[in-house]
Amino acid sequence: MKKKVEVNVSGIHNRQGEPEEQINTVSEGVYEISSDGTGIIEYKEIQEADGHRLVFHNKAIISSDRTTLEIQRGGAMSTGLVFTEGKEHETEYNTPYGKMFMKVVTKRLVFEEGDAGVIKAVAEYAIKMDDEVVSDSVITIETKAR
């Protein structure tokens, strides 16, 4: 059964030689737990950049055993990030300028669950390109019942 939720996503990105970047978005979405226990959060993210409005269609998939978080992002820039604590996953980041290949190294992954429609997922991770860490990051996805 799908439930309407408020989806709060925050990201903190630290890149060498640059100031810390923090991104926070709040949007409406739906949260569903499938028959096998997999959690699925679907939401749209809207960003303003260089006078353009970008809309991303996002889906966060939480494995039934709560060991993996996968974030699928669709739109002008799309990617699929997979987080499993202690593991490295390869991914490609599609931009209007071409594809970038990177690895996601998950340092820590935590889930907190409350009443129906409430979940919080926190992933601490590094992004590597050409086997060099280019960003240390934290993403938090939290739903609240509407």
75: left (phi over 0), alpha (psi -120 to 50) or beta: left
pLDDT at 114 > cutoff 90: no
Task: Tell me how far the alpha carbon of residue 15 is from its chain's centroid.
Answer: 18
Question: Which domains, and CATH codes, for the chain?
Answer: 2-145 (2.40.128.20)
Residues whose CB falls within 8 Å of the CB of residue 36, separated by 6 or more in sequence, listed in order: 64
Alpha-carbon distance 31 to 119, whole Å? 9
117 pLDDT band, cuts 50/70/90, is low
Task: Please state the rounded mean pLDDT for residues 125-133.
Answer: 94
Task: Write out the two tokens for 136.
Answer: 């240390």
Q: Is 40 helix (H, G, I), strand (E, B) or coil?
A: strand
Task: Write out the two tokens for 2.
Answer: 């799908």
| pLDDT tens digits for range 62-109 | 999 999 999 999 876 788 999 999 999 999 888 778 888 999 999 999
Which residue type, as a one-letter code, is found at position 96? P
Q: Greater confidence, 93 or 110? A: 110
pLDDT at 116 > cutoff 90: no
| pLDDT tens digits for range 22-71 | 989 999 999 999 999 999 999 998 777 778 787 889 999 999 999 999 99
pLDDT at 120 > cutoff 80: yes
